[in-house]
Amino acid sequence: MRANRKDGVETRERLLENACGVFAEKGYQDASIAEICERAGANVAAVNYYFGGKDALYAEVWRHTFETFMQAYPLNGGLPDDAPPEERLFARVHALLKRVFDDGRVGQCFRIGLRELVNPSTALENTRRELIGPHRQDTQALVRELLGPEVSDQDVLYCELSIINQCLSVNFFREKRKELLGCEHLSENAVEVLARHITRFSLGGIRAVRESISAEPAKVNS
């Protein structure tokens, strides 16, 4: 009995592991249960048995991958909540870039998340909101702290998207890295240098937005 239970746990783990690879390579739509089961060395009925179908497997993969890269590269970078906002912004940018440039297991997991953001599936609508929503709220709160109390929700949203997209866009030209960045693989030091550049660039933009907001009443009165 114990052997059967152990075999079942191992089969489920193999399915989950290999599903991560297939979904990362092909996305949800093009990934097939048959290929996942073949790679896992499992019967095609195993996905239904252990997960309840492709949608449920994909949701479980997404949860698993999200936890994997969050544990490997936490967004706060180990900084306390009362650290200066500029340092906390750098920590978030640096963590995102580490995920993007990770060519191992964490990077594979992160690419599943990016595929879902670019081409969202209906299977993950609630899961996406549940997992990503709180982290977006934290980033927006940090942006609001940097912009000041008079800022609009729209300005916060646009600044947040501008910062995040600078980090994520690097992943979309993975095959052109050597041409665009001068090398295919960035060292840890190079990733940090890029993170500091994006942070400086973002802080400059935030400062410009803040100054523009401060100048608006003067324009009205003049």
pLDDT in tens, 206-218: 999 999 988 876 5
The answer to whether the pTM exceeds 0.85 is no
Q: Are residues 109 and 197 in the same domain?
A: yes
Q: Are residues 88 and 126 in the same domain?
A: yes
Q: Are 221 and 136 in contact (CB under 8 A)?
A: no
Q: Is 179 exposed, middle or buried (0-12, 13-18, 19+ CB in 10 A)?
A: exposed
Q: Are 110 and 69 in contact (CB under 8 A)?
A: yes
Q: Are 128 and 120 in contact (CB under 8 A)?
A: yes
Which amino acid, 31? A
Q: Are residues 74 and 136 in the same domain?
A: yes
pLDDT of 127 reads 75
pLDDT < 50: residue spans in the chain: 1-3, 219-222
Q: Say which CATH number the domain at 168 has.
A: 1.10.357.10
Q: Are residues 44 and 144 in the same domain?
A: no
Q: Give how many domains the chain has, as a whole number.
A: 2
* Contact partners, residue 63, CB within 8 Å, separation at least 6: 127, 131
Q: Are residues 95 and 42 in the same domain?
A: no
Q: Are residues 103 and 32 in the same domain?
A: no
pLDDT of 221 reads 43
Radius of gyration of the chain (CA): 21
Max Cα-Cα span within the chain: 83
As a whole number of angstroms, the distance between CA 194 and CA 19 comes to 32
Q: Say which CATH number the domain at 46 has.
A: 1.10.10.60
Q: What is the DSSP string of 123-169?
A: GGHHHHHHHHHHHHHHHHHHHHHHH-TT--HHHHHHHHHHHHHHHHH
User: Which two structure tokens, joined as six digits, stand for 104?
Assistant: 């191992």
State whether residue 119 is helix, strand or coil.
Answer: coil
Q: Are 93 and 167 in contact (CB under 8 A)?
A: yes
User: Which two structure tokens, joined as six digits, stand for 72?
Assistant: 């490997």
pLDDT of 1 reads 42
* Contact partners, residue 180, CB within 8 Å, separation at least 6: 173
Q: Are residues 4 and 94 in the same domain?
A: no
The domain in which residue 131 lies consists of 58-221
pLDDT of 50 reads 93
User: Which two structure tokens, joined as six digits, stand for 131?
Assistant: 């997992």
Other beta carbons within 10 Å of 217: 10
Closest CA to 170 of 68, 94, 64: 94
As a whole number of angstroms, the distance between CA 167 and CA 179 comes to 18
pLDDT in tens, 34-75: 999 999 999 999 999 999 999 899 888 888 888 888 888 888
